[in-house]
Amino acid sequence: MSWAFGTAALIVLAVLLAALYRQSRRAASLQVQLDAAAIELQHLQEACSRLAPAGVVQRLVAGGGAEADTAAERKVVTALFADLVGYTAMSERLEPAVLARVLNGYFQRASDVVHEHRGHVSTFLGDGILAYFGAVQPNPWQCDDAVRAALAMRAAIKDYNVELTREGLPPLGLGIGIHRGPGLAGMIGSRERREYGFVGPTVNLAARVQSLTRVHGVDILVTEAIRERLDSRFVLAPMPAEAVKGIAEPVVTYAVREDAKAGG
């Protein structure tokens, strides 16, 4: 009797130990997953801070996204709209794979330049780039930064064209429009997909001004709102006022020649 009881007790003990072992293994595995998730969350939060203002990221993390929906802010931002000249013709002549490579090389160079000048690339629209200065972090020097970024993009495209020509590919041309004004900044998009963006007439006018670069035969145009806040050492040339779609008054623009401070 006592032998049977002892055996049963041993079996129960073995089962309990096995269960305990399984549970401890499971707990250790969960701990590792939790550690990895915590580190991943930290990295994600740091990465997000470069795409949206820190306050918005903080609210997104804390409120699961719901609170950030209602947290759009009024801001004065400088919008830079850049577009490739002759892209449509080029897209008809080049193989899609070659076209994608050329386009990616341009996007990479332009993004690096924007980032280097404290801007934030919001969207790639076909062959266009929309970037903001002063949207993610307060930036009282946003006009100077945006125009210096445009001049650096001009230089970067020039260098890139040397590479393209060496490969027998057509060189790229660039048109850039820059405008500064108020708007609403916040998380924009559908429930499934949203991004930090800026809405208001400022963005539309920057795009319209970009299209005027073809009319005036120049590569960088800024509006009066930019000119009046710009360092006087930038060399600008006034352009004739032009009517643009959606704006009642003709728009006065200035072509940017060089940054005298940087020696051209």
* Count of residues that interact with another protein, criterion CB under 8 A: 25
Under 8 Å CB-to-CB from 89, ≥6 apart: which residues? none
CB of 213 to another protein, least distance (A): 25
Distance (Å, whole) CA 208 – CA 22: 66
**Can residue 34 be called a binding residue for another protein (CB under 8 A)?**
yes
Cβ distance to another protein smaller for residue 39 or 243: 39
CB of 42 to another protein, least distance (A): 5
Of residues 73 through 112, those in contact with another protein by CB under 8 A are: none
Of residues 216 through 235, those in contact with another protein by CB under 8 A are: 229, 231, 233
Token digits for 26?
């499971």
CB of 79 to another protein, least distance (A): 20
CB of 38 to another protein, least distance (A): 5
Evaluate whether 185 touches 140 at the Cβ level (below 8 Å).
no
CA atoms within 13 Å, Cβ hemisphere of 14: 6
Among 127, 144, 219, 259, binds another protein (CB under 8 A): 144
List C-alpha distances in Å: 142 to 100, 149, 176, 264: 31, 10, 16, 20
Cβ distance to another protein smaller for residue 81 or 254: 254
Distance (Å, whole) CA 162 – CA 197: 34
CB of 202 to another protein, least distance (A): 20
Closest by alpha carbon to 143, among 71, 227, 38?
Answer: 227
Q: What mask, x for binding another protein by CB under 8 A, covers residues 37 to 66? A: -xx-xxx--x--xx--xxx--x--------
Closest by alpha carbon to 225, among 255, 180, 257, 182?
Answer: 180
CA angle 151, 83, 246 (to 5 degrees): 110
Cβ distance to another protein smaller for residue 14 or 47: 47
Question: Which residues form the interface with another protein (CB under 8 A)?
Answer: 34-35, 38-39, 41-43, 46, 49-50, 53-55, 58, 118, 137-141, 144, 229, 231, 233, 261
